[in-house]
Chain A
Amino acid sequence: MNTPVSAVDRKHTTETLEGAVIRFCGDSGDGMQLTGGEFTTTSAVFGNDVATFPDFPAEIRAPAGTLPGVSGFQVNFASTDISTPGDKVDVLVAMNPAGLKTNLADLKAGGILIVNEDAFNNNNLKKAGYARNPLDDGSLKDYKLYKIPISRLCEESLAETGMGAKAIGRAKNMYTLGVVYWLFDRSLEPTIKHLTDLFTKKKNQPEVADLNIRALKAGYYMGETAEMFQSRYIVPKAKLAPGKYRQISGNEATALGLIAGARLAKKTLTYAGYPITPASDILHFLSAYKNYHVKTLQMEDEIAAVCAAIGASYTGDIAVTGSSGPGIALKGEGIGLAVMTELPIVIVNVQRGGPSTGLPTKTEQADLLQAVYGRNSECPCIVIAARSPGDCFDAAVEAIRLATKYMTPVMLLTDGYIANGAEPWLLPKMSQLKPIEIQHPTAFNAHSDEAEGEGNNVYWPYLRNENLARPWAIPGTPKLEHRVGGLEKAQNTGNVSYDPMNHQRMVDLRQAKVEKVVQDIPPTEIQGEKSGDVLLIGWGGTYGSIHAATERLLNRGHKVGTVHLRYINPLPPDLGEIIRRFKTVVVPELNKGQLIRIIRDRFLVDARGINKVQGKPFLISELVAQIEAMLPQPRVERAAR
Chain B
Amino acid sequence: MTQIELPKYSAKDFATDQEVRWCPGCGDYAILAAVRKVLPDLNHRKENYVFVSGIGCSSRFPYYMGTYGVHGIHGRAPAIATGIKSANPNLDVWLVTGDGDGLSIGGNHLIHMLRRNVNIKVLLFNNRIYGLTKGQYSPTSLTGHRTKSTPLGSIDHPIHPISFALGVEATFVARCTDVNKGGLNVLPDVLKAAADHRGSAFVEIYQDCNVFNHQAFFYATEKDTARETTVLLEHGKPLIFGANRDKGIRFNSTRLEVVSLENVKEDDLLFHDETDPALAFLLSRMHHTQGLPEPVGVFYRVNKPCYEDMLTEQIEKSIAQRGEGDLEKLLNSGSTWTVSE
Contacts and interface: CB of A to CB of B under 8 A. Distances in A.
Interface of A: 41, 44-45, 47, 190, 194, 240-247, 256, 259-260, 263, 268, 270, 272, 289-295, 297, 299-301, 303-305, 307-317, 319, 333-334, 336-337, 341, 427-430, 450, 452, 474-487, 495-496
B70 A477 contact: no
B306 to A, nearest CB: 14
A246 B334 contact: yes
Interface in B66-110: 66-73, 76, 78-88, 90-91, 108-109
A430 B72 contact: no
Given A47-B337, A244-B337, A303-B109, 7 more contacts: A44-B337, A247-B335, A259-B327, A260-B327, A311-B82, A315-B83, A483-B51
A300 B108 contact: yes
Given A310-B80, A484-B70, A292 B327 contact: yes
A311 B327 contact: no
Contacts of B18: 495-496
Interface of B: 16-18, 45-52, 55, 62-63, 65-73, 76, 78-88, 90-91, 108-109, 111-112, 311, 314-315, 318-319, 321-325, 327-328, 330-341
B83 A475 contact: no
Which of B17, B46, B70 gathers most chain A CB within 10 Å?
B70
A308 B62 contact: no
Nearest to B108: A300
A292 B314 CA distance: 12
Contacts of B78: 304
Nearest to A452: B17
Contacts of A476: 47-48, 88, 90-91
Nearest to B320: A291
Nearest to B81: A311
Contact of B336 (A242, A246, A486): A246
B76 A427 contact: no
B337 A242 contact: no
Contacts of A240: 339
Nearest to A252: B334
A420 B70 CA distance: 37
Nearest to B17: A452
A260 B322 CA distance: 18
Contact of B335 (A44, A308, A481, A485): A44
A155 to B, nearest CB: 30
Contacts of A303: 76, 79, 109
Contacts of A247: 334-335
B83 A301 contact: no
B62 A483 contact: yes
Contact of B82 (A299, A334, A474): A299
B337 A45 contact: yes
Nearest to A297: B86
**6 closest Cβ contacts across the A-B interface?**
A311-B83, A485-B71, A292-B325, A308-B83, A307-B79, A315-B87
Contacts of A243: 338-339
Contacts of B315: 290-291, 293-295
A311 B79 contact: yes
Contacts of B324: 291
Nearest to B77: A307
B70 A314 contact: yes
A303 B338 CA distance: 43
B88 A300 contact: no
Contacts of B333: 246
Contacts of B336: 244-246, 427
Which of A256, A295, A478, A482 gathers most chain B CB within 10 Å?
A295
Contacts of B319: 290-291, 293
A315 B308 CA distance: 14
B325 A483 contact: no
Given A315-B88, A316-B88, A427-B336, A291 B325 contact: yes
Contacts of B67: 481
Contacts of B65: 483
A241 B90 CA distance: 48
A486 B48 CA distance: 22
Given A308-B86, A334-B73, A475-B68, A301 B108 contact: yes
B339 A297 contact: no
A319 B339 contact: no
A310 B90 CA distance: 18
A479 B333 CA distance: 45
A341 B47 contact: no
A175 B267 CA distance: 78
Contacts of B83: 270, 272, 297, 307-315, 319
Contacts of B323: 291
Given A291-B319, A475-B68, A312 B327 contact: no
